[in-house]
């Protein structure tokens, strides 16, 4: 099953890399390629989410639940995979909800920041997955420069969780208010 998981993770990786490229082209260039990128982004994002769900499900078939619970490396792998899925889910909802206005004004920057963040987290997921099968990468050294050791459990202090909840609520209120002014 491990080989199947390794094969399946390349589908969301490819779709997310393509979606990120499409966001950059659609956000910063003009012309035919930018128009095609903006128009084709939503189907690529939807396919990426479907592929990611299949890849994550196959990962849970590779390792037993006990192995995931007790191994910091496996927990980190699952955690970063779910973070990637969450970020690209947000991107998909944003593009779906805003339609042709997704690249207008500040929305473009939200798409760019989310896409680049999602790709960096997915790169971390792949690096940790490589460590799980004994194939380390140079990216691990870069992560160490940022204070992340892939062999120790990632954690988020309680104050950070509280700050994220407050930021999320503020963003939700701002979004609801902006919906009222756009109608």
Task: pLDDT tens for the chain, 183 residues: list them.
Answer: 678 888 999 999 999 999 999 999 999 999 999 999 999 999 999 999 999 999 999 988 888 888 787 888 888 888 889 989 999 999 999 999 998 788 988 888 889 999 999 999 899 898 888 888 888 888 888 888 877 777 776 666 677 678 878 888 887 887 777 776 655
Residues 60 and 146 grouped into a single domain: yes
Separation in Å, CA 156 to CA 71, 79, 163, 164 = 18, 12, 11, 10
pTM of the model: 0.81
Helix (H, G, I), strand (E, B) or coil at 71: coil
Tokens (6 digits) for 24: 């950059």
Residues 134 and 162 grouped into a single domain: no
pLDDT at 66: 83
Residues 102 and 13 grouped into a single domain: yes
Separation in Å, CA 161 to CA 3, 38, 52, 156 = 36, 33, 25, 7
Residues 164 and 83 grouped into a single domain: no
Cβ atoms < 10 Å from Cβ of 11 = 16
The b/e string for 146-181 (b: 16+ C-beta within 10 A; e otherwise) is eebebeeeeeeeeeeeeeeeeeeeeeeeeeeeeeee
Residues 147 and 160 grouped into a single domain: no
Domain enclosing residue 180, as ranges: 155-183
Q: How many domains does the chain have?
A: 2
Residues 97 and 56 grouped into a single domain: yes
**Within the chain, how many helices (H) and strands (E) appear?**
8, 0
């Amino acid at each position: 099953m491990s080989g199947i998981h390794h094969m399946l993770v390349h589908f969301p990786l490819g779709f997310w890399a393509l979606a990120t490229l499409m966001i950059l082209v659609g956000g910063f260039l003009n012309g035919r390629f930018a128009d095609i990128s903006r128009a084709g982004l939503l189907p690529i994002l939807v396919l990426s989410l479907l592929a990611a769900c299949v890849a994550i499900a196959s990962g849970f078939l590779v390792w037993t639940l006990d192995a995931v619970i007790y191994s910091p490396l496996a927990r980190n792998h699952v955690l970063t995979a779910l973070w990637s899925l969450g970020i690209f889910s947000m991107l998909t909802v944003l593009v779906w909800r805003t339609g042709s206005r997704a690249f207008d004004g500040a929305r473009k920057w939200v798409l760019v920041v989310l896409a680049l963040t999602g790709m960096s987290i997915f790169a971390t997921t792949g690096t940790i997955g490589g460590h799980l099968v004994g194939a380390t990468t140079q990216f691990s050294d870069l992560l160490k420069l940022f204070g992340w050791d892939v062999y120790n459990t990632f954690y988020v202090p309680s104050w950070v969780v509280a700050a994220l909840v407050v930021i999320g609520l503020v963003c939700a209120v701002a979004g609801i208010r902006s919906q009222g002014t756009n109608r």
